[in-house]
Amino acid sequence: MDTPPQRRLTWVLLGVLMVFYGWLITFAGELSILMIRANRSADLAAELGEQADAKGIARGGTMFFVGDIMLSRSVEKKMEATGDYTFLFLKVAEILRSADLAFGNLEGPISSRGANQGSIYSFRADPRAVEGLVFAGFDVLSLANNHIWDWGRTALLDTVSLLRAEGISPVGAGGSYDEANQVALLEFNGVKVAVLAYTNLLPKSFQAGVDSPGLSEFDLGKIKENVSQLKKSVDLVVVSLHWGEEYQTSANEGQKDIAHALIDSGVDLVVGHHPHVVQEVEQYGKGWAAYSLGNFVFDQSFSEETMAGAALWVKVENGSIAEVRLLPVNISPEFQPEIDPSLL
């Protein structure tokens, strides 16, 4: 017996409604699960954010840069007389250690070996002098200067080894070309920083060979290429340069041309030293150049300018330089640098 068309339509509609109802129940369940997962993810993200804040992880921090550190001659005699190789840094160690990255230029080797290369201004510090550098909290020290070779290859290699053994990254010199040109890579609070060091004051014969010790290669074109590659994987690139004219309180055109070319290639900060006096700080494009920070530890007591250097305090926020301050450094008759903490 045939079912009337109206009844068949009713059964079809009921079937469709039952299928729809089943699908709706399934969808509601899945939606509920998704909402629970979303809420859990949001809670987890908030929890991780709170943990990051508690640890001070906000892709920011501070960097501290100082000028020439010479630990020989009268400075060494002062350390010997006190019997304390941290003596020089007693007044600044707390400030330096408070920074996430502390940098300076080490003017001369630290070693008990080597041969004097003949200059009347040859520097070499007692190996115990490294105690002061560690106490001060230095993370990176440039060796790319005109005094690191004063006692030859042995003393240079001793310096590199000694610093590394104490957890300080030497840049700008090494036992081979690759080592001398190696980048110091540091990270703090999620900020990745690359530090390179060079000098343009010495002939190419002082540069490291494939398997021979020496200084990094100052080739502006190669440096710019290196910077372009580094910027793909780090937040900030810092280039240290031992350059300029001694006792001149203003940067020359050559310094400015180099600094501008480096910043144009992606360098965020150029830090200079060698003139033994302070030169200007310039904001150029997206970067900064501190042309000379003068002396930090030195025995050049013949003028006020050479016993009054500067320190560069750099604030980093979200992986970029947010603020730069040039802080006066007073060097006492005992060769102790001092920085007014109220300026920070």
Tens of pLDDT, residue by residue over 49-69, are 444 444 445 799 999 999 999
Residue from 16, 103, 115 nearest 312 by CA: 103
Kindly give the residue spans of alpha helices, DSSP state H, lying in the chain: 5-54, 73-82, 93-98, 130-136, 152-165, 177-180, 220-230, 253-264
Q: What is the pLDDT of residue 47?
A: 43
Instruction: Identify the segments of the chain with pLDDT beneath 70.
Output: 1-57
Q: What is the pLDDT of residue 36?
A: 33
Q: What is residue 198's DSSP assignment?
A: E
Helix (H) or strand (E) holding 324: strand 320-331
Residue from 178, 176, 96, 177 nearest 140 by CA: 96
CB count in 10 Å sphere of residue 195: 27
Q: What is the pLDDT of residue 58?
A: 75
Report residue 124 CA to chain centroid gap: 25
What SS3 class is residue 203?
coil
pTM of the predicted model as reported, rounded to 2 decimal places = 0.84
Q: What gap in Å lies between CA 67 and CA 183, rounded to an integer?
A: 19
Q: What is the pLDDT of residue 18?
A: 53
Helix (H) or strand (E) holding 215: strand 214-215
Q: What is the pLDDT of residue 343?
A: 92
CB neighbour burial string for 92-109, b if at least 16 within 10 angstroms, e if fewer: bbebbeebbbbbbbbbbb
Q: What gap in Å lies between CA 217 and CA 277, rounded to an integer?
A: 25
Q: What is the pLDDT of residue 118?
A: 84
What SS3 class is residue 330?
strand
Longest CA pairwise span in the chain (Å): 124
What SS3 class is residue 62?
strand
Q: What is the pLDDT of residue 119?
A: 87
Q: What is the pLDDT of residue 4?
A: 53
CA atoms within 13 A on the CB side of 285: 16
Q: What gap in Å lies between CA 89 and CA 92, rounded to an integer?
A: 5
